[in-house]
Amino acid sequence: MSTRVVITGIGAVTPLGVGAETLHTRAVAGLSGLNDENENGLGGKVGRCLDFDVKNPLSRREMRRMDRYTQLAVAAADEAIAQAGWGGGLPCDARRITCYIGTAIGGLDTLETQHLVMHTEGAEEVSPLTVPMMMANAAPAHISMRHGLHGETTAIVTACSSGAQAIIAGVRSILLGEADAAVVGGAEAGTTRFTRAIFNAAGAISPDGNSTPFDEERNGFNLGEGAGILVLESAENARARGAEILGEIAGYGLSSDAHHITAPNPDGKYAAYALNRALETAGATPEQVSYVNAHGTGTELNDTTEVNVLRQALGDALENIPVSSTKSAIGHLFGAAGAVETIATLQALRHGQAPPTLGLKNLDKRLGRVRISGEPQDLAPGTFSAEDGTPKRLGLSNSLGFGGHNVTLAIRA
């Protein structure tokens, strides 16, 4: 990509705590954000944002008008925008700041609650705020209103790749010259009883919480909630105002399996195409990759397919590249996953240490030779020279969504 799109702010609210730094430090320390919950016969573990105090960023009036997924998104956006240094005012024309937030489901908590109200108290008791709270575009709408962003404001809905595709939408708006900056990311609050019931019925949830991606005893994923938001700017805009640059969206790749509504294509060739495109647009080779944050859900089909994809795209270099799954510590965040994992990737590159695949004891031998560990892994200094000649680490973040959506982001720190 000729124009550089840089990252000047990051914010995260996850089951590991509040804050992008908290996400990294607690993940590397081997802490889990998952808790045992047994409700209505649904066992396993759930990742809830227990440290999140909604009264801190929001007034009572705002709280009553937002679904939990929007509340999480707004809190993460506040952190990212503050770190970007926008507290004293926007860095450019507000009409040239876009906002794209991904979600797989949107205001499911509101939908479930109001559906219950209708059947227990009557249709006349349903809240008139139900539609604006449950609509998928509520999060980007509230973020734009809160911060006065007047560029294109859109919700991206592509299942588990939504957050990653929202980041790409922001990148494209800058590359096309339609924006100078973008607020992007993903949010989800999919830990409701209904969500747990439907994924349990589909046999996707780990019945005992043993969701350890790539482990030979893995048996499904755990549900989680959270949000990850990034502030993107053109390098020119960031430099002009003296902003600290945390990293760069160096490249990206997208494709569609066009194979099955929920299952990935086992041959992985189209997901490998997306990964290759990410490297190509970043101007990098497999040997220059310092870290891969895998989609890593903990289902046998996903894990085996994804390692197959990595091997096709990275070849022999894969054996020397640390790989891990953030979902092992926070659960599957659905539409927020790609954004939170992009932040986790950036943080791993910046701090030089990849978080572990938590709980991994016995790597599935069928996966072959791949550097996946239950312990943190130190990252090499990096071989990709920046403009000042300093080696910079390059990382990849994979997202695979129901519907066959394949997304890979290349991040340089």
* Active-site pick, 49, 99, 142, 295: 295
Burial class of residue 362 (count of CB atoms within 10 Å of its CB; 0-12, 13-18, 19+): exposed
Q: Which helix (H) or strand (E) holds 95?
A: none
Q: Is 405 a catalytic residue?
A: no
Q: How far apart are CA 403 and CA 103, in angstroms?
A: 14
Q: Which helix (H) or strand (E) holds 248?
A: strand 247-256
DSSP 39-75: BTTB-SEEE--TT--TTTTS-HHHHHTS-HHHHHHHH
Beta carbons of 32 and 358 less than 8 angstroms apart:
yes
| Given 24, 99, 142, 160, the catalytic residue | 160
Taking each helix axis from N to C terminus, what angle separates 20-28 and 337-351, rounded to the nearest 10 degrees?
70
Q: Residue type at 177?
A: G
Q: Give the three-class secondary structure for 5.
A: strand
Find out whether 47 and 331 touch, Cβ atoms under 8 Å: yes
- 99 catalytic, yes or no? no
**Segment holding 231, helix H or strand E:** strand 223-234
Q: Which of 49, 99, 142, 332 is catalytic?
A: 332
Catalytic positions, written as ranges = 160, 295, 332
